[in-house]
Structure 1
């Protein structure tokens, strides 16, 4: 299995960004200064790359004590797709579009599990936000059982950008949320849709909920009033499959 690549050194990271490598995250030493550092910082902001300020001990571990100059980056092991191209490709195929939008989901194991179920249910792609989302790293790929190499994944500047693109393509947005009385079993999922799943702790953000076409929840019959996000996503995906097979 292809592993996430680690690179270190400010100049090396600058060159990786400028060569359009897919940087998952950059770790920077607290208190770092200098012209080269500010050049890197400018590139990181311009490309909306996720960053963390960390103590030097963490950088030593990540770089295995090589000369990291206060900066270490993780390069994604997969190629990301352009959303507009993926939508067009799916619309031109003899199939009913099914996409998944992840609104600030941060746990790599949940992400991997969702990718695996997405592949098993024939989803055409998963969309994540460039910043604040779980990375596609070795653990994600392992949890996905390799499905991360099979399901197209897109990164957008903001989840709302993806929503606008789906709306322009007449693909309906279905948000998984407890902030509704509508059951998932009462929503028509046999039309072109994109399922919106929220973060582990906050769910789908209120600003996103205001933009979707449908809000739906799963019935919870026990005392615990929430499901793991990857489990909930699986339930939504398989209800979609059930409705489409039934046609």
Structure 2
């Protein structure tokens, strides 16, 4: 993790959040208490900042400086507003292609997905504030710099983003094995948003209930699933093939 992406010290983190910096995640020393810590927790909750409690050894590895029991990672990019992204894309493209990631938590998977998204002309990536991988050094490296070229939105809830996309005339398609339809049965040559689920549990069942279409990849081996970044690549390139 690169030092320029870190803020350390409770007061410094509070001030960074209040100043509107793109704080991705805060690591807090386990069992740390005090009035300043309570204030940090209130500020993080109000702003929807991801945080986790970790042993002090983890903080010591992140920074040799006096961290005071808290270290924050800062995103190297700015995030775009969902409504602005959708409106501007609809104005410039007749067949926009969006990608929603339902709490993908591994930074390297996230980076690999961003790289493929950039190569396939995805107009924007939408992630949820809570439970999603941070945009950190691993993400930047794995994306080969594509993270700086693809607009990324952070939303409170993926379901709200899906409702907004649907109301904007964009068909939502969930990548899931819980369907009889394969990817190759669908028409992707229209405004669409593809939804990919987390590494462990896939797409949340409450999200699956509201999407327009569900599709799976045909599997012929003994292993029942693909890495999420590989599966995402298959979906995106099928969209490219149909649109050519």
TM-score (normalised: structure 2): 0.97
Q: In the superposition, relative to structure 1, how do residues 190 and 77 fare at CA in structure 2: closer, same or farther (>3 Å)?
A: same
Distance 2:102 2:4 in 1: 23
What's 2:33 paired with? Answer: 33
Deviation digits for residues 183-233 of structure 1, max 9, x if unmatched? 111111011000000011111111100010000011111221111111110
What's 1:80 paired with? Answer: 79
SS at match of 1:235: helix
Structure 2 stretches lacking a partner, 5+ long: none
Asked if 1:19 corresponds to 2:10, the answer is no
Distance 2:96 2:51 in 1: 33
Deviation of 1:95 (Å): 3.8
Could you tell me whether the CA contact under 8 Å between 2:111 and 2:139 is conserved in 1?
A: yes
SS at match of 2:169: coil
Q: In the superposition, relative to structure 1, how do residues 5 and 214 fare at CA in structure 2: closer, same or farther (>3 Å)?
A: same
What's 1:53 paired with? Answer: 53
Distance 2:174 2:3 in 1: 32
Could you tell me whether the CA contact under 8 Å between 1:174 and 1:214 is conserved in 2?
A: yes
**Count of residues paired in the alignment:** 243
Structure 1 stretches lacking a partner, 5+ long: none
Distance 1:11 1:149 in 2: 29
TM-score (normalised: structure 1): 0.96
Q: In the superposition, relative to structure 1, how do residues 35 and 159 fare at CA in structure 2: closer, same or farther (>3 Å)?
A: same
Displacement over 4 Å in runs of 4+: none
Q: How does 1:152-163 map to 2 (within 5 A)?
A: 152-163=151-162
Over aligned residue pairs, what C-alpha RMSD do you find? 1.2
Asked if 1:120 corresponds to 2:142, the answer is no
Deviation digits for residues 32-91 of structure 1, max 9, x if unmatched? 122111111001111111111011121122121x21111110000111111110000000
SS at match of 1:7: strand
